[in-house]
Structure 1
Amino acid sequence: MSQPLRMISEPTKQTLSSKTRLNQQLNSTGDLSNRPGEMDHIKNSLPAQVLDFTQLPIWDLAFRPWFLISTLSSVLSIGAWLLFLHGHLPALANTGLTPLAWHIHEMLFGFGATIAVAFLLTAAQTWTQKRSLNGSALLCLTLIWLMVRTLLWSSDHRLQVIAIVLQGIWWLTCISFLASMVFSAKSRRNYQFIPLLSVMMLLNMSFLIADFTGDTKFALHLAHIAILTFGLLVGIVGGRVIPFFTERGGQNATVTATPILDKILPVLTIIGIGVFAMSQFTRLPMTPAILLIGAGTIHLLRLLHWDPLSTRKVPLLWSLQLAYFFLGLGLIMLGISFLTHSIAFADALHLITIGTVGGMILAMIARVSLGHTGRALKPHPSLNMAFALIFIGTATRFLLPLFEMSSLGWDISAVCWIAAFSLFIWHYARILMSQRVS
């Protein structure tokens, strides 16, 4: 079995000692340049109050502030979207983005992509043994992120341009920092995340420009491509961590490696995304249906090799397995939606956006937040309900529209999302803002 993605699980003594040496070598601002005099000059130019603030625990690593504000933003965004659907928030129709585009952008990029970047920047410190983004730089990027969320509500063209520029700055800074870490450490198995995030950045920027300029149809197509790309990212990360965690934490788990499937899956997925992307511009001799169904089937075959039944009594594991299941099922249903009108593309897509993106993120941030703050991997019992709510919301969002109860399906799934991530915020806000436990 290849070396797993080690970013949260119980560290070995060797890892602990490496981290200790790392912390001794790096100053409190996370300097990577080995030029302390230069950093002292920067420190001395900052007010003491700012230095004190940036040294609070929440600015230690990207997962701390971004897990917290992204989940809070998702709760508020879903709440606003639900109010708009019922005619109680007409102001949403007067923002720079069209209402549907705003909903997609805030959930896919404002929430999902932000969590993914925070996760990778945090994991990269373990991969590379180099200090990751922290302190004043992390604070600045957080403020930029918050400014984008605010400016997207504006209908002023100049402010819209500023929002796009700031969103680009956020992406470029994050990707550049991650790239500098993995390339300098020659962490070759993690090079793939740089082009993946770069594609997400380009899709994000193009999405905003397209909708701001009135081409909402093209913006939605770009969003669909981004969701499929996010699924590719989940397939890569999930393929590393789920079998590893299951083997270590499942009850008598029997995990089997799937090297052939692991090689076929990303190639098939990338071809499928490419065909789907081109279908918007030209008539192709084939639809993405077979490719999407094939990729979804391979995901489910991988999952069968990871002994999912062994995780049924471990919430941090069965939640990961079930989120991955919805990726396979979602891709299959997306493929079928090209072949029949009985399944709507948007309904099938929510199997991935809620079940996979929402479910995988909730399971991972619940684990990462404990592991990277030195706490035991035992979430509060109410998190079990949070995991269940996400998957209940996924099922109702997909199934009820089949019985002509779309509005009820939207309402239930939205309420489930709000309740699930509110539980996370309630139990984890203090943890994310507190010192690491010895």
Structure 2
Amino acid sequence: MPDRPTSLPVLFALGFRPLFLAGSLFAVFAIPLWIAAFFGHVDLNPAGGWLAWHRHEMVFGFGVAIVAGFLLTAIQAWTGVPALTGTPVLLLAGLWLAGRLLWLFGAPHWLLIPVDLLFLPLVALAIGQSLWKVRQTRNYPIVLMLLLLSFCNLLALIGLERSDFALQRHGAVAALWLIAGLMGLIGGRVIPFFTQRGLGLQEPVAAWPRLDNLLMAGSILVALLMLSGVGLVPSPWQAPIYLLLGLGHIVRLLRWHHPQLWTVPLLWSLHLSYAWLALALIAMALWHGGWFGGFSQATHLLAIGGMAGMILAMISRVSLGHTGRPLQPPAAMSLAFILLNLAVPLRVWLSIPLPQTGFWLASLCWATAFGLFVWYYAPILLAPRPDGKPG
């Protein structure tokens, strides 16, 4: 079904255009800014201080922008209901940007909190309305995840207001693991399909609904453990939960694997990001069992390798497909994928013996990776489809 016409610039034709571009630009600057602030080189006071800003904004700023852009665009293909276009997309993108500026420049809480809180529920409403119109029950869990993310943000903002930074941390970390759940849900659908299409195979690997449902339920359980604070304290009884989830994701990866995927950057980048998700879960199991260094290391395996890795892979593909272009990314994107994956061991392991070296090198790899996306894809996201179709 065609998109509704809009007189606004093509940037606001569909949700992925402004949110992928803005989210990636934010990623380019946010991590180097955080590292500079961490080492005392920045004279600025964001809301709640730099650690609270970093913890919140990499999830509810960067991560949520890409999730929202993807869902606001994909919902049309899933349901046949026209996606938001024009003014609603402009307003949502403006609301997201306002939240980022208010956080960074330490706006008063009475202004920051309602502005920042509004974005996710509005996205959930837009997605929910489309799904309800066609009674597409199989995608209702996505609305549930968006509402849970909204609740996590509410708790994080309450923590900010009360200067209760334990509560703020609970909300932000729980949201990261909810995004991991979305990675499992959406990745479980698109990775085998993209692999089949990209390699010209007969058909994608058949899904195992029981495993899929168990992994989704486990992701929600992990998020609830983080939200309550229980998951932030090493406890041997929690180790089997993370271990089973990690092994479940590895089983999926092994079933999806095909040797030829390593010749296609848009495929190996997706598979590798999913592998980091599995490794992050196993690292959490080891941490709870007392056999792995720290919670921060496990969290950054997920945040950089898993979340950011899948984001970069997905936006590189979706931005081509939804603008009517061949699925052939610029050659430089292979370097971007390599650099982002290199940032994981630099941040997780090298930063332990050499903090400044590890942090700065990881920051450089991260910023260059997303900078390459912005450089090569901004002209695509700002230009009409070459086939003349809307979108």
Q: Residue 401 of structure 1: CA displacement?
A: 4.1
- 8 Å contact 2:239–2:284 — kept in the other structure? yes
Q: Residue 285 of structure 1: CA displacement?
A: 8.5
Which residue of structure 2 lines up, in the alignment, with residue 318 of structure 1? Answer: 268
> Which structure has the bigger radius of gyration?
1
* Paired residue secondary structure (1:191): helix
- 8 Å contact 1:320–1:359 — kept in the other structure? yes
1:390 partnered with 2:340: yes
Return 5+ residue gaps in structure 2 as ranges. none
Change (3 A) 1:153 1:295: same
1:105 partnered with 2:56: yes
Deviates more, 1:79-88 or 1:239-248: 79-88
1:144 partnered with 2:95: yes
Return 5+ residue gaps in structure 1 as ranges. 1-18, 30-51
After TM superposition, the structure 1 = structure 2 runs for residues 404-419 of structure 1, keeping only pairs within 5 Å, are: 404-419=353-368
1:376 partnered with 2:326: yes
Change (3 A) 1:125 1:281: closer
Which residue of structure 2 lines up, in the alignment, with residue 153 of structure 1? Answer: 104
Change (3 A) 1:136 1:406: same
Q: Percent identity?
A: 35
Q: Residue 432 of structure 1: CA displacement?
A: 0.2
2:142 to 185, 190, 193: 193
Which residue of structure 2 lines up, in the alignment, with residue 351 of structure 1? Answer: 301
1:61 partnered with 2:14: yes
Amino acid at match of 1:270: I
CA deviations 1:397-425 (Å, max 9, x no partner) are: 222245x2233222221111100000000
Supply the RMSD in Å over aligned alpha carbons.
2.2
Question: Please, what TM-score do these two structures have when normalized by structure 1?
Answer: 0.83
CA deviations 1:227-286 (Å, max 9, x no partner) are: 111111100000000011111213768864351422322233333333444454999996
Change (3 A) 1:330 1:284: closer
CA deviations 1:83-137 (Å, max 9, x no partner) are: 112321031xx22222111012221111101110110110001111122111112
Q: Residue 428 of structure 1: CA displacement?
A: 0.5
Deviates more, 1:261-270 or 1:78-87: 261-270
Amino acid at match of 2:267: L
Which residue of structure 1 lines up, in the alignment, with residue 80 of structure 2? Answer: 129
Amino acid at match of 1:216: F
Which residue of structure 1 lines up, in the alignment, with residue 313 of structure 2? Answer: 363
Residues in 1 aligned to 2:170 and 2:76: alpha-carbon distance in whole angstroms: 35
Residues in 1 aligned to 2:267 and 2:41: alpha-carbon distance in whole angstroms: 39
Residues in 1 aligned to 2:233 and 2:182: alpha-carbon distance in whole angstroms: 28
How many residues align structurally?
A: 386
Change (3 A) 1:217 1:247: same
1:165 partnered with 2:118: no
Amino acid at match of 1:347: Q
After TM superposition, the structure 1 = structure 2 runs for residues 202-351 of structure 1, keeping only pairs within 5 Å, are: 202-250=151-199, 256-259=205-208, 260-280=210-230, 287-340=237-290, 342-351=292-301
Residues in 2 aligned to 1:282 and 1:80: alpha-carbon distance in whole angstroms: 26
1:72 to 18, 22, 25: 25
